[in-house]
Amino acid sequence: MRYSRLGMDNKEQRNSGEPRWLFSNRVVEDKHSHVVSVGTLNIGVREKQLVLEALDNNRLSYGPMTQRFESEFASVHNCRFGVMSNSGTSALQIALQTLKELHGWEDNQFNS
């Protein structure tokens, strides 16, 4: 099952089973297909509106849409903060630094 939705905005909606679309208004459910397409793109009206909104704001870097995403992502996961990263590697670096802070790990602590 693949989802294009990011989550729901409050506990009642999560418990009701009714999704609230945060950025996308489409769900793709395909229980039997495991195909990853290459070179094709299916963009809906809502996605085009969001791209145009970003372009109209002259922001292709951190800005209001990123802040909104971080806030809504944190809310969906019952966290105080959400952090956007530019890559999977950056996300892993943020996660590792967070674990180091939470557990008091020092650099080179595990090297012998």
DSSP codes of every residue in 15-61: HHT----SS----B--SS-----SS-----HHHHHHHHHHHHTT-SS
Per-residue pLDDT 10s for the chain (112 aa) are 333 444 444 444 445 554 444 454 455 555 556 677 788 888 899 999 988 988 888 877 888 889 999 999 999 999 999 999 999 999 999 999 999 999 998 887 666 5
Classify residue 1: in a domain, yes or no.
no
Residues 90 and 75 in one domain: no
Residues 15 and 42 in one domain: yes
Looking at residue 112, what is its pLDDT? 58
Residues 51 and 91 in one domain: no
How far apart CA 101 and CA 78 sit, in angstroms, is 20
Q: How many domains does the chain have?
A: 2
Q: What is the DSSP letter of 108?
A: T
How far apart CA 95 and CA 112 sit, in angstroms, is 23
Classify residue 25: in a domain, yes or no.
yes
- Structural domain span for residue 46: 11-81
Residues 63 and 29 in one domain: yes
Looking at residue 65, what is its pLDDT? 86
Tokens 């990263």: give the residue. 85
28 phi, psi to nearest 5 deg: -115, 115
How far apart CA 55 and CA 48 sit, in angstroms, is 11
Residues 42 and 70 in one domain: yes
Residues 100 and 60 in one domain: no
Whole-model pTM: value is 0.51
Looking at residue 49, what is its pLDDT? 93
User: How many other CB atoms are found less than 10 A from the CB of residue 8?
Assistant: 20
Residues 66 and 105 in one domain: no
Residues 72 and 32 in one domain: yes
